[in-house]
Amino acid sequence: RIFTSLYSWSGINNNNQEECPYLQRQNACQRITDANMFALISLPPGMDKAEWLASNTVAFFKHINLFSSALSEFCTPSTCPTACGPGNMVYFWTDDHGRKLKCSAPLYFDYAMSYIQELLTDEDVFPTKAGATFPTGFIFLVQKVFLLLLRTLAHIYWSHYSEVLALDLHPHLNTLFSHLTLFCQQHSLLEPEDMKPLQDLITALERHG
């Protein structure tokens, strides 16, 4: 499967509330830890940057895949016929034949998680043996992974925040999202246009965090 960053502003709005609840102070201030995020995202002295990016890519994938799986029963083709995020941004997938597909959310994110899983288990891309080198263009593959992970969390905020609140998972979601965006900013893993639709959320979490 081939990943694409193409998107559109049209689509179905699964968030029917006039004011996004995830921007409200009483929700945005919730965290599961008061740990110094900047200490968590900074490259440790003496560590190879590719190794640091690789280990964090694997960790973020595991955490976000686990979190999204907890909400999978609420994300169906009928509840989420379009894969979208804040601002009604619609995410498209490009298949092996170069066809741009407008998918339901569960199908899009199944493609995304499968793509990432295949990448992480490819020894030529994410080597696990001592002394192995990372491939040319490794950083670009990492950027693709983090964009997909960002979109996964963006969809949860936009379409499933009521379920997140009902399950009392918003402190976990806020912590995970803040950690992810700070890590991406620190290591230049996302383009400004990728972050723009989420800027209100990023600002709210920074202000109240």
For residue 21, is it within any domain? Answer: no
Residues at the binding site are 75, 80, 155, 160
* Average pLDDT, integer, range 75-92: 94
Asked whether the whole model's pTM tops 0.85, one would answer: yes
For residue 176, is it within any domain? Answer: yes
For residue 75, is it within any domain? Answer: yes
| pLDDT of 18 | 54
For residue 130, is it within any domain? Answer: yes
Concatenate the DSSP letters of all residues of 96-165 into one string: TTS-EEE--HHHHHHHHHHHHHHHHT-TTTS--STT--PPTTHHHHHHHHHHHHHHHHHHHHHHHHHHHH
For residue 14, is it within any domain? Answer: no
User: Which residue segment(s) compose the domain that 185 sits in?
Assistant: 45-207
Give the pLDDT confidence of 142-187 residue by residue, as tens digits: 999 999 999 999 999 999 999 999 999 999 999 999 999 999 999 9
Give the pLDDT confidence of 4-47 residue by residue, as tens digits: 333 333 333 444 445 789 999 999 999 998 778 888 899 999 99
CATH label of the domain that carries residue 88: 1.20.140.30
Residues at the binding site for Zn(2+) are 75, 80, 155, 160
Dist. CA 54–CA 154, nearest whole Å: 22
Closest to 125 in 3D by CA, of 108, 145, 152: 145
| pLDDT of 107 | 96
For residue 24, is it within any domain? Answer: no
Instruction: Report the number of distinct structural domains present in the chain.
Output: 1
